[in-house]
Amino acid sequence: ATVTVKAEAGKKISDHLIGIFFEDINYAADGGLYAELIQNRDFEYAPADRGNDRNWNSTHSWALADAGSATLNIETFSPLHPNNPHYAVLEVRSAPGAGLVNSGFDGIAVKEGARYDFSLFGKVLEGKGGKVVVKLLDTNGAVIGQSSVTISSKDWKQQKSVVTATADVPVASLAIYPQVAGKYALDMVSLFPQETFKGRKNGLRADLAQTLADLHPRFIRFPGGCVAHGDGVDNIYGWKGSIGPLESRKPLRNLWGYHQTRGLGYFEYFQYCEDIEAEPLPVLAAGVPCQNSGTCAHHSTDELTCMGQQGGIPMEEMDKYIQDVLDLIEYANGDARRTKWGKMRAEAGHPKPFNLKFIGIGNEDMITDVFEERFTLIYNAVREKHPEITVIGTVGPFYEGTDYEEGWELATHLGVPMVDEHYYVEPGWLIHNQDYYDRYDRNKPKVYLGEYASHVSGRHNNIETALTEALYLTSVERNGDVVSMTSYAPLLAKEGHTQWNPDLIYFNNTEVKPTVSYYVQQMYGQHSGSEYLPSVVSLDNQPDAVRKRVGVSVVKDKARGDYIVKLVNLLPVKVASRIRLEGVSLVDPSATKTLLTGEPQSKDAKPVTSPFEIGGEEFSYEMPPYSFTVIRIGQG
């Protein structure tokens, strides 16, 4: 192949092209990115979280130690906070010995020498109260860490201590043993590693958060997906319930069949974005739940069934809802002394604004009258009060053959600056639709490709699917003037709790397993540019089927002055290529080459970076079969 790059014809492209989409699906938050180790710490699990499963209740993950000498009841008589109505009442008839044990999320993984912050809210209901011993136990019941607190107050009081683990144990449990017989009320029982990402209190699991940071994402979309708009009006995420002291946050049923404590809430999302220098992109419901219905069941990637009556937030309640949206902008950006919500942000520990620039309204909603009416009201209100914020609308759900017509019409009519498109497709779709955005009208709203992935139903991401994503992204960079942002399918999936495939990163309590698609995203994220340099690729009269399997994109990173050449070869044979950088005069011809390659079915391939001497503005490179290469010519 000959690749002739026309540097003089370069065009500016978005500098937010590669981001990430975080949704609390597949146990991505509780039991995942959020570092809390106690499951059901708030005793708020309810059968309704999980299709009326009676075993999924306030005692889930809790058990009695020495059950003959103690009783556990769940009460709501005098809670710690109205948003957190259930608490445990532990009656200990014979002490010491009886207690309460939590089994964590598939166990509690602890590391020798690591320190863990233990805390609980407790009060004495009967008796004098006294010392409560806290123990980390291994699977044989041996103690691998111990500490104590005192519960002696008749009113709710938080108690804290630190437990140091004395062994590496991947499946430990935590036990609480009152040393004095009596009746105790307990709530918000927490065990938190001191080692979190950047040492943040109430922070994120360090290895997972670092893996995300390594993608160098320019933005994070959160908290969903479907979680953002919920599967009924009462399941809409409601950002205000996710901030403030943990005990006052409003837990929420997760439509993916579990419970959200919302310990990872809006403050923590904003903080993490700041920590990794990614723009926050919160997505709020457009006043309607999933597909505007009361019932919406996701069975698999291929089947989305939404039924029930169409409906949204009643029109008479829309003013209040719109105010919530405006309040979010004030919470993120408002003055810490002069605004109510800015003050709340400051009280949470962040006086400086978070500098919010984008807000998503709606997620894959059907563009019905119910949607249009509510979206228009919200959009107009935000545009009027906060013209500085870029609102991202939605063009609806994608099914094979959809053209998103109604969504585009509405967005164009209202002048929405950007719209969110989603598509989960077969690898062939990405190969055959590389001209998808070439055809987009540059006078219409810009595009945020908020969810996409190449997948073959039932199969894990592999080199073949990942390379089709890499190939398609060459066309996205080419269209980086109309596509402003992209983010892959769900980010995180916990092994054993995966409701959705494909995902970018799989994990368990001790390991993080990035997929090959992750490495494609990383190679784009770490090597993005601000200017696209068009190139002509000639493949010696090869048929269309061959030409479509080779992709090239050349960008310039203006800040560093580097030229970046991306080459994708989806053919089973190597492709010898000659690359000519016309109109470029290199100060320094040294480069690095990052290569991701493997058999099409490989799931374990990883990119390898090595020095690469190009010698000048014209150089040769042989693309291996099934490969994605990034050649970065450093000028900085």
Specify the residue, 169 or 226, whose C-beta has the smaller distance to ligand AHR.
226
Binding mask 19-48 for ligand AHR (x = CB under 6 A): ----x-x-----------------------
Q: To the nearest whole angstrom, how small is the minimum distance from the Cβ of residue 285 to ligand AHR?
A: 12
Of 144 and 395, which CB lies nearer to ligand AHR in the complex structure? 395
The residue (of 341 and 423) whose beta carbon lies closer to ligand AHR is 423
Residues 578 and 622: their CA atoms lie apart, in Å, by 8
- Distance in angstroms (rounded) separating the CA atoms of residues 525 and 492: 17
User: C-beta of 226: minimal distance to ligand AHR in Å?
Assistant: 3
Confirm if 599 and 463 have CB atoms less than 8 A apart.
Answer: yes
Residues 83 and 227: their CA atoms lie apart, in Å, by: 19
Taking the complex as a whole, the smallest distance from the CB of residue 443 to ligand AHR amounts, in Å, to: 27
**CB nearer ligand AHR, residue 226 or residue 233:** 226
Q: Which is nearer to ligand AHR, 504 or 581 (CB)?
A: 504
The Cβ of residue 357 has, within 10 Å, a number of other Cβ atoms equal to 15
What would the two tokens of residue 146 be?
Answer: 């111990």
As annotated, the active-site residues are 364
**The one-letter amino acid at 52:** N
Q: Do strands 627-633 and 590-597 pair parallel, antiparallel, or not at all (unpaired)?
A: antiparallel
- The CB-of-22 to ligand AHR minimum distance in angstroms stands at 10
Contacts of 171 (CB under 8 A, 6+ apart): 106, 107, 108, 109, 138, 139, 509
What number of other Cβ atoms are within 10 A of residue 166's Cβ? 16
In the structure encoding, which two tokens stand for residue 151, read together? 């519960």
Q: Which two tokens stand for residue 83?
A: 């948003």
In this complex, which beta carbon is closest to ligand AHR, that of residue 361 or of residue 631?
A: 361
Is residue 100 part of the contact set for ligand AHR (CB under 6 A)?
A: no
- How far apart (Å, rounded) are the C-alpha atoms in residues 192 and 201? 9
Residues 375 and 363: beta-carbon distance below 8 Å: no
Cα four-point dihedral sign 303, 359, 264, 289: negative
Q: Does 489 bind ligand AHR (CB under 6 A)?
A: yes
Residues 346-365 that bind ligand AHR (CB under 6 A): 363-364
- Residue 391-430 contact track with ligand AHR, rule CB under 6 A, x = bound: -------------------------------x--------
Binding track, positions 364-383, relative to ligand AHR; x by CB under 6 A: x-------------------
Report whether 84 contacts 251 (CB < 8 A): yes
- Residue 632 and residue 590: Cα distance in Å, rounded? 9
Q: Which residues pair with 476 in a beta bridge?
A: none
User: Is residue 451 a contact residue for ligand AHR (CB under 6 A)?
Assistant: yes
Q: Which is nearer to ligand AHR, 116 or 500 (CB)?
A: 500
Shortest Cβ 304–ligand AHR spacing (Å): 6
- Token couple for 359: 């807000």
Q: Which of 32, 182, 224, 362 binds ligand AHR (CB under 6 A)?
A: 224
Size of the residue set binding ligand AHR (CB under 6 A): 12
The least CB distance from residue 251 to ligand AHR, in Å, is 19
Find the binder of ligand AHR among 145, 244, 445, 490 (CB under 6 A).
490
Closest CA to 458 of 426, 432, 490, 428: 426
Q: How far is the CB of 229 from ligand AHR (least distance, A)?
A: 9
Q: Which residues bind ligand AHR (CB under 6 A)?
A: 23, 25, 224-226, 363-364, 422, 451, 489-490, 500
